[in-house]
Amino acid sequence: MRRKEFIKTCGLACLGATSIGVFLQSCVPTKNITANIKGDELVIPKSDFAKKDGHYNYIVVNNSKLQFPIALFRFSLDEFNALYLQCTHQGNELNAYGDKLVCAAHGSEFDNKGNVTNGPATDALRSFPVRISQDSIHVSLKSVEH
Protein backbone atom coordinates (compact mmCIF):
# COMPACT_ATOMS: atom_id res chain seq x y z
CA MET A 1 0.00 0.00 0.00
CA ARG A 2 1.33 3.38 -0.93
CA ARG A 3 1.87 6.02 1.74
CA LYS A 4 -0.92 8.28 0.47
CA GLU A 5 -3.44 5.40 0.38
CA PHE A 6 -2.35 4.30 3.86
CA ILE A 7 -2.90 7.79 5.33
CA LYS A 8 -6.27 8.08 3.61
CA THR A 9 -7.40 4.65 4.85
CA CYS A 10 -6.24 5.30 8.43
CA GLY A 11 -7.87 8.74 8.43
CA LEU A 12 -11.21 7.31 7.31
CA ALA A 13 -10.96 4.48 9.86
CA CYS A 14 -10.27 6.97 12.66
CA LEU A 15 -13.12 9.19 11.54
CA GLY A 16 -15.45 6.18 11.43
CA ALA A 17 -14.41 5.00 14.89
CA THR A 18 -14.90 8.48 16.36
CA SER A 19 -18.29 8.89 14.72
CA ILE A 20 -19.46 5.49 15.95
CA GLY A 21 -18.36 6.36 19.50
CA VAL A 22 -20.25 9.65 19.49
CA PHE A 23 -23.25 7.97 17.85
CA LEU A 24 -23.33 5.14 20.40
CA GLN A 25 -22.94 7.53 23.31
CA SER A 26 -25.84 9.66 22.10
CA CYS A 27 -28.01 6.55 21.55
CA VAL A 28 -27.84 5.36 25.14
CA PRO A 29 -31.30 6.14 26.50
CA THR A 30 -31.43 8.52 29.40
CA LYS A 31 -33.35 7.25 32.40
CA ASN A 32 -35.65 9.88 33.89
CA ILE A 33 -37.22 9.41 37.30
CA THR A 34 -39.27 11.45 39.72
CA ALA A 35 -37.92 11.38 43.26
CA ASN A 36 -39.37 12.47 46.57
CA ILE A 37 -38.13 15.40 48.61
CA LYS A 38 -37.84 14.65 52.31
CA GLY A 39 -36.90 17.66 54.39
CA ASP A 40 -34.10 19.37 52.46
CA GLU A 41 -33.09 16.27 50.54
CA LEU A 42 -34.01 14.69 47.26
CA VAL A 43 -34.03 10.95 47.94
CA ILE A 44 -33.20 8.54 45.11
CA PRO A 45 -33.33 4.77 45.69
CA LYS A 46 -30.05 3.10 44.64
CA SER A 47 -32.17 0.53 42.83
CA ASP A 48 -33.06 3.21 40.24
CA PHE A 49 -29.53 2.81 38.86
CA ALA A 50 -30.00 -0.92 38.24
CA LYS A 51 -30.70 -2.27 34.80
CA LYS A 52 -30.71 -5.75 33.27
CA ASP A 53 -27.07 -5.78 32.22
CA GLY A 54 -25.51 -3.72 35.00
CA HIS A 55 -26.25 -0.17 36.02
CA TYR A 56 -26.86 3.27 34.58
CA ASN A 57 -23.92 5.68 34.72
CA TYR A 58 -26.35 8.50 35.35
CA ILE A 59 -30.04 9.21 35.75
CA VAL A 60 -32.00 12.44 35.45
CA VAL A 61 -34.05 13.22 38.53
CA ASN A 62 -37.16 15.38 38.51
CA ASN A 63 -39.45 16.77 41.16
CA SER A 64 -42.26 19.26 40.53
CA LYS A 65 -40.76 21.55 43.19
CA LEU A 66 -37.51 21.90 41.25
CA GLN A 67 -37.29 24.41 38.42
CA PHE A 68 -34.72 22.23 36.60
CA PRO A 69 -33.93 18.52 36.85
CA ILE A 70 -30.77 17.19 38.48
CA ALA A 71 -28.39 14.79 36.72
CA LEU A 72 -27.03 12.23 39.15
CA PHE A 73 -23.80 10.61 37.93
CA ARG A 74 -22.56 7.36 39.44
CA PHE A 75 -18.78 6.87 39.52
CA SER A 76 -18.73 3.93 41.94
CA LEU A 77 -20.93 2.29 44.58
CA ASP A 78 -20.42 5.22 46.91
CA GLU A 79 -19.36 8.08 44.67
CA PHE A 80 -22.02 10.21 43.00
CA ASN A 81 -22.18 13.71 41.60
CA ALA A 82 -25.40 15.74 41.46
CA LEU A 83 -25.55 18.58 38.91
CA TYR A 84 -28.31 21.11 38.32
CA LEU A 85 -29.33 21.01 34.65
CA GLN A 86 -29.47 24.77 34.21
CA CYS A 87 -26.95 26.21 31.77
CA THR A 88 -24.67 28.81 33.35
CA HIS A 89 -24.68 30.90 30.17
CA GLN A 90 -28.28 32.15 29.96
CA GLY A 91 -30.17 29.63 32.04
CA ASN A 92 -31.62 27.14 29.54
CA GLU A 93 -32.19 23.51 30.48
CA LEU A 94 -29.40 21.08 29.61
CA ASN A 95 -29.78 17.65 28.04
CA ALA A 96 -27.70 14.65 29.07
CA TYR A 97 -25.94 12.55 26.42
CA GLY A 98 -23.73 9.93 27.97
CA ASP A 99 -21.19 11.75 30.10
CA LYS A 100 -21.92 15.05 28.39
CA LEU A 101 -24.44 17.75 29.28
CA VAL A 102 -25.39 19.88 26.31
CA CYS A 103 -27.28 23.15 25.97
CA ALA A 104 -29.32 23.37 22.80
CA ALA A 105 -29.61 27.17 23.03
CA HIS A 106 -26.04 28.16 22.10
CA GLY A 107 -24.06 24.92 22.24
CA SER A 108 -22.35 24.99 25.63
CA GLU A 109 -21.19 21.60 26.89
CA PHE A 110 -20.25 20.35 30.34
CA ASP A 111 -18.65 17.14 31.58
CA ASN A 112 -20.02 14.84 34.29
CA LYS A 113 -18.22 16.90 36.96
CA GLY A 114 -19.99 20.07 35.80
CA ASN A 115 -16.94 21.65 34.17
CA VAL A 116 -17.35 23.65 30.97
CA THR A 117 -15.90 21.77 27.97
CA ASN A 118 -17.34 24.03 25.30
CA GLY A 119 -18.55 27.65 25.53
CA PRO A 120 -20.01 30.19 25.41
CA ALA A 121 -20.70 29.27 29.08
CA THR A 122 -17.68 29.98 31.29
CA ASP A 123 -18.89 28.91 34.73
CA ALA A 124 -19.19 25.35 36.03
CA LEU A 125 -22.61 23.90 36.80
CA ARG A 126 -24.14 24.12 40.25
CA SER A 127 -23.56 20.91 42.15
CA PHE A 128 -25.09 19.57 45.34
CA PRO A 129 -23.69 17.68 48.31
CA VAL A 130 -24.53 13.98 48.15
CA ARG A 131 -24.94 11.62 51.09
CA ILE A 132 -25.19 7.85 50.70
CA SER A 133 -27.28 5.63 52.96
CA GLN A 134 -27.78 1.87 52.74
CA ASP A 135 -30.51 1.99 50.10
CA SER A 136 -30.60 5.57 48.86
CA ILE A 137 -28.70 8.54 47.57
CA HIS A 138 -29.59 11.80 49.31
CA VAL A 139 -29.03 15.06 47.43
CA SER A 140 -28.99 18.11 49.68
CA LEU A 141 -31.12 20.94 48.30
CA LYS A 142 -30.38 23.45 51.02
CA SER A 143 -28.96 25.92 48.49
CA VAL A 144 -31.86 25.65 46.01
CA GLU A 145 -35.09 27.57 46.02
CA HIS A 146 -37.82 24.95 45.68
Give residues in contact with ligand FES (CB under 6 A). 87, 89-90, 92, 103, 105-108, 120-121
Please state, in angstroms and rounded to a whole number, the distance separating the CA atoms of residues 29 and 32.
9
Instruction: Please state the φ and ψ torsions of residue 96, each to the nearest 5 degrees.
Output: -100, 130
Least distance to ligand FES from the beta carbon of 38, Å?
A: 31
How many helices (H) and strands (E) in the chain?
A: 1, 15
**Closest CB 88 distance from ligand FES, rounded Å:** 8
- Quick one: 107 or 129, whose CB is closer to ligand FES? 107
CB of 80 to ligand FES, least distance (A): 24
Distance, in Å, from the CA atom of 49 to the CA atom of 35, rounded to the nearest integer, reads: 13
Closer of 19 and 117 to ligand FES (Cβ)? 117
Closest separation in Å from C-beta 123 to ligand FES: 11
Instruction: Name the pairing type of β-strands 79-84 and 127-128.
Output: antiparallel
Instruction: Please give the distance of CA 70 from its chain centroid, rounded to a whole number.
Output: 9
Nearest CB to ligand FES, comparing residues 63 and 118: 118
